[in-house]
Amino acid sequence: MYKVGITGGIGSGKTTACKVFEVLGIPVFYADTVAKEIMCKDVVLIAGVKAAFGNDSYFENGKLNNKHIAGIVFNNEEALAKLNALVHPAVFRAFDAWEETIPANTPYTLKEAALLFESGSYKMCDTTILVTAPHDIKMKRVMLRDGVTAEQVKARMDKQLSDEEKSKMAGHFIVNDERQSIIEQVLALHQQFLKAAEALKSANI
């Protein structure tokens, strides 16, 4: 099935754009939400996390000890890379399992991931969308949504590739600057993806 990856910086509006695709009947895999869920479900991942960060990574009831993990990976790039190397393949496995549940007559699927390019996940997509928004607007949105300070938002932004870097890898763009209609941009992309998905299907017959 034709796969579209969608990403964007924090507060760019990628989830908002995905909701519009969902209204059009396109199934969306929210990789970041799934990543949190599988931390306590994927046995290979759990074993890997315990081996890398110790048995204290989980409580006796099987819940993730977020404080323990955060304490290790916070400001430790090597440990964070180790954690990502465990989590990303587990998310790929979850995506494959999710795709199996999608009805065959679905034209295409969407995979939303904050680290689509950084994780290498984009290589498994037929095309990608980068959602962009001006820096100040992203700041304002996240501060309002999460009740955090500008410094806290900036610290999160600094952990992601810049839009400039991501632009070099993106196949399509949605500009969510609160002036251009996000709905119209999604509708235009939807038409393009329907055609591309149909072409892929014909080529595979």
**Binding region for ligand ATP (CB under 6 A):** 8, 10-16, 114, 141-142, 145, 176, 178, 182
Amino acid at 16: T
Residues 175 and 133 sit within 8 Å (Cβ to Cβ):
yes
Min CB(57)–ligand ATP separation in Å: 24
Q: How far is the CB of 15 from ligand ATP (least distance, A)?
A: 3
Specify the residue, 49 or 88, whose C-beta has the smaller distance to ligand ATP: 88
Q: Between 141 and 190, name the residue whose CB sits nearer to ligand ATP.
A: 141
Q: Residue 126 in 3-state DSSP?
A: coil
Minimum distance, C-beta of residue 62 to ligand ATP, in the bound complex (Å) = 26
Tokens, residue 18: 């995905």
> d(Cα 15, Cα 11) in Å, to the nearest integer?
9
Helix (H, G, I), strand (E, B) or coil at 119: coil
Secondary structure element (H or E) that encloses residue 43, with its range: helix 43-53
Nearer to ligand ATP, 83 or 130 (CB): 130
The CB-of-98 to ligand ATP minimum distance in angstroms stands at: 19
| 3-state SS class at 104 | coil
> For ligand ATP, which is the closer residue by CB, 178 or 198?
178
